[in-house]
Chain A
Amino acid sequence: MPDATPPGTRLSRRQLVGSLCGGFGAVGLAGMLQEQLTGAPNSSPAGPHFAPRAKHLVFLFMTGGPSHMDMLDPKPALLRYAGERPESVDLRTERMTGGLLPSPFEFRKRGKSGIEVSELLPELGGVVDELCVIRSMYTFNPTHGPARNLIHSGNIAATRPSLGAWISYGLGTENRNLPGFVVLSPGHRGGNLWRSAFLPAEHQGTHFDNTDADPERMIRYLRNDALGADAQRLQLDLIQALNRQHRESVGGDSYLDARIQAMETAYRMQFEALDVFDVGNEPAAVREEYGDTPYARGCLLARRLVERGVRYVHLYYGPGQPWDDHKTINRNLRERCPDMDRASAALIRDLKRRGLLDETLVVWGGEFGRTPVSEAGDGRDHNPYGFTMWMAGGGVRGGIVHGQTDEFGFQAVEDRVSVHDLHATILNQLGFDHERLTYRYAGRDFRLTDVHGTVLRELLA
């Protein structure tokens, strides 16, 4: 009964969505699980516009703004001019800064591509031939909140749908027992960054706190503390029997079926999620490869979720703003990088081994970079003018460097890439023309890239 095809408008909507998807197969969650009871003015989910290169996206988000000059963008000139403050670096940033601060970390050419990578990232250096390193990112705001909003939603104000919500709106999920847009964030509460804003609420990210390895602590309301699976099945059978009685008495209607079905999905999700979120189910060797920190488990979970059809996993490195190294940056990076390096590289190798890297786009980066000039002698301030991100898999070219910053790493000067360009490119890989993935709201069509964005075709395989 609960799995019966729902009647009436549901079916036609489903067919409509199916036809828009152009045979891609997956149906937006909207078409399957959600009924709009009101005559909402908006059209059905967009579906991909063309054959996608990637079916999944994993965003490894380094909150706080990681230092590109210490990791992926070598700047030997910093040493030559150490302590000086040439005119070209006299840019206004959030805080007071002093002279140029050299990176103490050694860079070496790695892989066949010979891309220079810092000693902080030995493991990522080992997979550098899979990476498309963009050294010419820039953003529009030097403050965390607005810059983070921009990279999450294409706008500095906290009012637009997040990238993940757009993707969920466009593609739905492949696995009806799991949400299409999963957020893994240790210790982080509040859904402002993974909001759906004016898109329907079902497209908001579903947040899991992966501080703890235990899935039951990770997922709110996932488990019933009082009832075992069989007892709960009995209780649900009772509820559904009463719901059928009710349906008889008021007349069948799709909205009633939608809730009946959503309850069944919730019930199944408990077990599927308990299983998928339990990294203990992985062989010891795999767990060892990733490591055993919240971020490492997050990377491993990302792979497990992608494998089960989740569209988008957005993983935060840690609570707060771990990469916001205003002070003692060198010591901090030495402590923080090994964990990030090992797990990120493990994720790429693991996806590749399983044949998933081709269809999974991995993106790494923060809301901005850091200044080549020092703050308080041993730290670096926020740098919106130039920073590094990398992508891997999902139909982008590996082993290339795109763009460059000036000789000190302050400003992106060649082949500059805006956040909108990045978004346009990500959507392109998922099968969307970023100018056509729109939603009508407040009298006009909104899109992730607003009126900006150029797909970076030279990065595509």
Chain B
Amino acid sequence: MRPLGSALALAAAAMGQSPEAEFFERRIRPVLVERCEACHSSRLPEPMGGLTVDSRAGLRKGGASGPAIIPGDPDASLLIRALGYLDPVLKMPPTGRLPDRSVEDFRAWITSGAHDPRGETPEVGESTAEAGPGMPIEEGRAWWAFRPLAERPAPQTGDPDWTARKIDVFVLARLEQNGLRPSPKASRQTLVRRAYLDLTGLPPTYQQVEAFVADSSPNAYGDLVDRLLDSPRYGERWGRYWLDVARWAEDHPTTEATNRPFANAWRYRDWVIEAISQDIPYDRFILSQFAADLLPGFRPSDVRALGYLGNAPIYHKDRRLSRDVIETIASDDWDERVDAVSRGLLGLTVACARCHDHKFDPITAKDYYALAGVFASTWQVQRPIVELDPSMAERLVWDHERLYRIKGAYGNLKELDTVAEDAHDEIRAMKAEYERLERELAGNEIPMTPAVIDCGVWIDGSMPTVTRMDLRPDQPRDLPVFVRGSVTSPGEIVPRRFLAVFEAGRPKPFRRGSGRLELAEKIVGEAGPLAARVWVNRVWGWHFGSHLVATPSDFGTQGQMPTHPDLLEDLTARFVRAGWSLKWLHREIMLSATYRQASRANAEWQTVDPNNRLLWRMNPRRLDLEAWRDSILQASGELNLAGGGPSTEVDVVAPARRSVYSRISRARLHPILQLYDFPLPTQHSPQRLVTTTPLQQLFVLNSGWMRSRGRSLASVTGEVSDSRDRIALMYRQALSRMPTEEEVRLGLEYLAQRTGEAAGGRWEEYAHGLLATNEISFLN
């Protein structure tokens, strides 16, 4: 044993605490709290082995195996046997032996009488881990983001002439409060480029700019917005925004045999583009993605909508791992869904409640597991998108599912074939079965799409060598609360249901199948005001480059408060009244005077509000990868507008399709996508970050891809022999405007310096230079 250090005793005496108490507080209590109480706390419904360590009495009384400590006799104390890993069975903590020093501390503590200043009953409220959510449910219901929506009266402002829409009145009032004024209107050239890029992700051509500038009708701008909203290019732009929220991709974070890439993942992408183009009301849009097959008016092709869940990432489950490890990985899958749904659609960080009640928001661990249960009751499968006899459709689904799974399992397990006698026959059988299924399904031409079905998921660890997924179609699974997120500490079982804070009384359990339809109904129903606020805020951010709530996936107490609360409330309430119409929202925003401001900085106002939170100007923006790449391809005359179908790699230019049709991989995100801030689809991203790095510029300056675009731009202007005319044509083609005299001069000067080169090469370099400029990359 180790004597209590004299320095420690001195320090303790100085603090008015006995050395024994000090020793307990410093060396014993922290270990009990951190390493033992997850499973041995009186707060748990069923402490493991009946032992609780959070009170003096609990330790002395012990659990099923008897007293944990015998004060004065460490060798007789069960606790020391367990902590020291001296017992063949009882080894605590099970996650790993404590450091020797700590075990020695416990010995010393027991030897000297196990002084324990705690009371006979556990101290309440000391540990925050099980102390309930940071905000009580009752109080949570009054949180601004959870309240019912109501339209707001427009405030009085001093300049009724400036305001064009109700939005403007709220913005102007805030500016006036802070002694600021709106910026002047953007020029028509700037406005038309802004409108095109915003709604279609493509800049206007020279002719389109000229036509708009020349259009003197009072409704020219409103007509332009309407025309762009009707363009097929619009769905491709705004569908892509949704795909960010849905963290859509076509494969899994890793690509082992058990989780090969999805077939047909692109069908969900195409459905999203169609749905956005058709302006399906946002509430219906959400319902479809959870349960299109359960909605009235269902058409088989709507199954594609289920790709929201059907294309979710699956983590590799090596079948040779133990049941607990596999269940942990499966619970990571469910966690991903809870997180994508709660942050993406509700702006709530529910996943924080996986290990403990939320520390700040009115969300409990039970809420978390009630939601996770919905995902433990669904299974990702391929489903047909055409009308079929129901029994045939079901057979097709399960044959495909079994082929995918058995083939993956065989790929994972085949090496066992030579060593594991008990698994031998089963593995052989797997091979025979997947080969048979492959033969049978080879001729299948019925189009399928990644989707989900209702099916409870359990983990079967009864086999000695392999762990199996135990799938029970039509039998939903309610999950237990995994204490501190650990599957080895299952607590109370929680029925599948929605977050309690949104329910008037006791939350009612979901009854229909997995509950996915009921979950979606709650999201756009009881939680509808929040879901609508979150969506309106996202749309605002995509139009302005900054949000009213600067934390678009966190509307909880740790998120930012809205810069314009009344504006957000009013706009959201009217959005819902307008039938959750996204196109209504675009018009309302784009026709506002706020949106139509110039983006030029104003030094004085910049000091007052450097980040333009009050919207005294339009934010200048860097184009995202998709708009930038598409702009370059349009400039070089190569853009191919064929839409839909299987994806192509982002650097492929034969054909040069729009960027939204690029292949998106979780395992190997294309380097160009990585370079330009494309969000990793392994998880939900609240918004895209915008970085400007030297490595991006190496791509711009040096890549064969960029130089080829320069070559194409040079060749589409190749028939013009006069250098001035050719420069002008290139400007029209690449930048949709005529060059200034200075720009022509710079061009001619450059070409003159390169006369040693072949004429073709000079012009290609020049064209490449034009495509590399800031003007193409930024939006004012």
A16-24, A117-125, A198-206: which lies at the interface? A198-206
**A34 touching B693, Cβ below 8 Å:** yes
For residue A104, CB closer than 8 A to chain B, the reply is no
Of the listed stretches B15-23, B58-66, B266-274, B699-707, name the one at the interface; the rest are far from the partner chain.
B699-707
> In the complex the two chains form, what is the Cα distance from A208 to B307 in whole Å?
36
Min CB gap B185→A, angstroms: 15
B601:A253 contact, CB within 8 angstroms: yes
Chain A: minimal CB distance from B602 (Å): 9
User: Interface code B649-677, partner A: CB below 8 Å = 1, 0 otherwise?
Assistant: 00000000000000000111101001101
Taking a contact as CB atoms closer than 8 A, the residue among B416, B554, B697, B773 that contacts A95 in the complex is: B416
Q: With A179-B695, A414-B100, A444-B349 as known contacts, state yes or no: A263 contacts B777, CB within 8 Å.
A: no
Asked whether A39 lies within 8 Å of B546 as measured between CB atoms, the reply is yes
A36 contact from B360, B689, B697, B770, Cβ within 8 A? B689
Bitwise, B681-707 to A at CB < 8 A (1) or not (0) is 011011101111111111111111001
Q: Is B648 at the interface (CB under 8 A from chain A)?
A: no
Residues of B within 8 A of A283 (CB): none
A259 CA to B778 CA, complexed, in Å: 10
A270 located at the interface, meaning its Cβ lies under 8 Å from any Cβ of chain B in the complex: yes
**Chain A residues with CB below 8 A from B416, complex form:** 95-96
Contact in complex: B321, A206 (CB < 8 Å): no
Rounded to whole Å, the gap between the CB of B205 and the closest CB of chain A is 19
Interfacial chain A residues near B556, Cβ < 8 Å: 443
- Given A36-B690, A443-B559, is A191 in contact with B254 using a C-beta cutoff of 8 Å? no
What chain A residues lie within 8 Å of B360 (beta carbons)?
443
- The majority secondary structure among interface residues of chain B is loop
What residues of chain A lie closer than 8 Å to B619, measured between beta carbons? 37-38
User: Could you tell me the distance in whole angstroms from the C-beta of B651 to the nearest C-beta in chain A?
Assistant: 11
Contact with B along A143-174 (1 / 0, CB 8 A): 10110000000000111000000000000000
Q: Does B99 contact A (CB under 8 A)?
A: yes
The residues in A between 53 and 91 inclusive whose CB is less than 8 angstroms from any CB of B are none
Q: Which residues of B contact A146 (CB under 8 A)?
A: 316, 329
Q: Are A227 and B693 in contact (CB under 8 A)?
A: no
B765 at the interface (CB under 8 A from A): yes
- State which of B320, B694, B704 has its C-beta within 8 Å of the C-beta of A266: B694
Contact of A202 among B96, B668, B691, B698 (CB under 8 A): B691
Q: Which of B231-239, B371-379, B739-747 contacts A (4 or more CB under 8 A)?
A: B739-747
- Evaluate contact between B99 and A416: CB separation under 8 angstroms: yes
**Which residues of the partner chain B approach A145 to less than 8 Å between Cβ atoms?**
254, 256, 316
Contact A227 B97 (CB under 8 A): no
Task: Say which residue of A238, A266, A443 sits within 8 Å of B695 (CB atoms).
Answer: A266
In the bound complex, CA of A235 to CA of B770 (Å) = 10
Q: What's the Cα separation between A313 and B290 when bound, in Å?
A: 45
A414 and B778 CA atoms in complex are apart in Å by 59
Q: How many of chain B's residues have a CB under 8 angstroms from any CB in A?
A: 106
B774 located at the interface, meaning its Cβ lies under 8 Å from any Cβ of chain A in the complex = yes
Report yes or no: B695 in contact with A255, Cβ–Cβ below 8 A.
no
A27 to B677, CA, bound (A): 22
Contact residues in A for B699 (Cβ distance below 8 Å): 220-221
Q: Is the CB of A9 within 8 A of B610?
A: yes
B692 and A259 within 8 A (CB): yes
Nearest CB of chain B from residue A268's CB, rounded to whole Å: 9
| CB of A320 closer than 8 Å to a CB of B | no
For residue B468, CB closer than 8 A to chain A, the reply is: no
B318 at the interface (CB under 8 A from A): yes
Cβ contact within 8 Å between A418 and B96: yes
Instruction: With CB as the reference atom, state the residue of chain A lying closest to B671.
Output: A220
Cβ contact of A143, chosen from B316, B418, B680, B686, cutoff 8 A: B316
- CB pair B701–A234 under 8 Å, yes or no, is no
Instruction: Answer yes or no: A333 CB below 8 A from chain B CBs.
Output: no
CA of A225 to CA of B711 in the docked complex: distance in angstroms? 14
CB contacts under 8 Å to B, within A229-244, are: 231-232, 234-236, 238-239, 241-243
Known contacts: A158-B253, A223-B702, A245-B742. The answer to whether A413 contacts B773 by CB under 8 A is no
The contact string, 1 if C-beta is below 8 Å from chain A, for chain B 97-116, is: 10110000000000000000
A387 to chain B, nearest CB (A): 14
**Assembled-state Cα–Cα distance A313/B605 (Å):** 44
Are the CB atoms of B695 and A239 closer together than 8 Å?
Answer: no
Confirm or deny: B415 has a beta carbon within 8 angstroms of a beta carbon on chain A.
yes
Q: In the bound complex, do residue B96 and residue A376 qualify as a contact, i.e. CB atoms below 8 Å apart?
A: no
Complex Cα spacing A226 to B714, Å = 15
Among residues 363 to 419 in chain B, which have CB atoms less than 8 Å away from a CB atom of chain A?
A: 415-416, 418-419
Residue of B686, B698, B740 with most chain A CB atoms under a 10 A cut-off: B698
| Residues of B contacting A227 in the complex (Cβ-Cβ under 8 angstroms) | 765
Q: With a CB–CB cut-off of 8 A, which chain B residues contact A278?
A: none
Chain B proximity mask over A239-275: 1 for CB below 8 Å, otherwise 0: 1011101110011110110111011011101100000
Q: Are A157 and B332 in contact (CB under 8 A)?
A: yes
Distance, CA A226 to CA B687, complexed state (A): 37
- The reply on A195 being an interface residue by CB < 8 A is yes
CB of A138 within 8 A of chain B?
yes
- Look across to chain A and name the residue whose beta carbon is closest to the beta carbon of B683: A159
Decide if A192 is an interface residue (CB 8 Å cutoff): yes
Hey, what's the 0/1 contact readout for A180-194 against B, CB within 8 Å counting as 1?
A: 000000000111100
Contact A252 to B691, CB < 8 A, known contacts A159-B682, A201-B677, A236-B701: no
Take A158-B253, A200-B689, A235-B769 as given contacts and tell me if A190 and B332 are in contact as well, using a CB distance cutoff of 8 Å.
no
Q: Mark B715-733, 1 if CB is under 8 A from A, else 0.
A: 0000000000000000000
> Which A residues are CB-close (under 8 A) to B332?
157
Number of interface residues of A (CB under 8 A): 84
In the assembled complex, the CB of A212 is this many whole angstroms from the nearest CB of chain B, namely 18
Instruction: Answer whether A259 and B601 are a contact pair too, CB < 8 Å, given A220-B671, A234-B754.
Output: no
Establish whether residues A158 and B558, one from each chain, have CB atoms under 8 Å apart when the complex forms.
no
CB distance from B246 to the nearest CB of A (A): 16
Q: Is B560 an interface residue (CB 8 A)?
A: yes
For the complex, give the distance between the alpha carbons of A413 and B702 in Å: 54
A189 to chain B, nearest CB (A): 7
- Contact with A39, one of B611, B621, B698, B777 (Cβ below 8 angstroms): B611
CB-CB nearest in chain B for A148:
B254
**A461 interface hit (Cβ, 8 Å):** no
A158–B255 alpha-carbon span in the complex (Å): 12
Would B622 and A95 count as touching, CB distance under 8 A? no
Structural contact, B316 and A226, CB atoms closer than 8 A: no
B residues 303-333 in Cβ contact with A at 8 Å: 315-316, 318, 320-322, 325, 329, 332
Q: Does B768 contact A (CB under 8 A)?
A: yes
Question: Which single member of A8, A34, A143 contacts B692 (CB below 8 Å)?
Answer: A34
Whether, in the assembled complex, B222 has its beta carbon less than 8 Å from a beta carbon of chain A, the answer is: no
A263 to B747, CA, bound (A): 19
Instruction: Judge whether A241 and B746 touch: CB under 8 Å.
Output: yes
Chain B residues, Cβ within 8 Å of A413: 85, 97
The yes or no answer to A142 lying at the interface (CB within 8 A) is yes
**Interface flag for B643 (CB, 8 Å):** no
Q: Which residue, of B668, B683, B777, has the highest number of chain A Cβ atoms within 10 A?
A: B683
Interface membership of B772, Cβ < 8 A: yes
Given contacts A247-B774, A259-B692, A376-B418, contact A239 B682 (CB under 8 A): no
Contact between B610 and A8, CB atoms less than 8 A apart: yes
Query: Is there a chain B Cβ closer than 8 Å to A43's Cβ?
Result: no
A51 at the interface (CB under 8 A from B): no
A262 cross-chain contacts in B, Cβ below 8 A: 692-694, 696-697
A284 at the interface (CB under 8 A from B): no
Which chain B residues border A202 with CB–CB below 8 Å? 691, 693
A222 interface contact, C-beta 8 A: yes
The 29 listed contacts between A and B (C-beta, < 8 Å) are A33-B692, A33-B693, A34-B692, A37-B619, A38-B545, A92-B322, A95-B415, A138-B96, A157-B253, A159-B680, A179-B695, A221-B699, A222-B702, A225-B704, A235-B768, A238-B766, A238-B769, A245-B742, A255-B620, A255-B622, A255-B692, A262-B696, A263-B772, A267-B701, A416-B97, A442-B686, A443-B349, A444-B349, A444-B359
Q: Which 3 A-B pairs have the closest CB atoms?
A: A443-B349, A266-B697, A251-B600
Known: A145-B256, A200-B691. 13 other contacts (CB 8 A): A29-B693, A39-B611, A146-B329, A192-B669, A225-B702, A225-B704, A235-B768, A252-B601, A260-B774, A266-B694, A266-B695, A442-B352, A444-B352
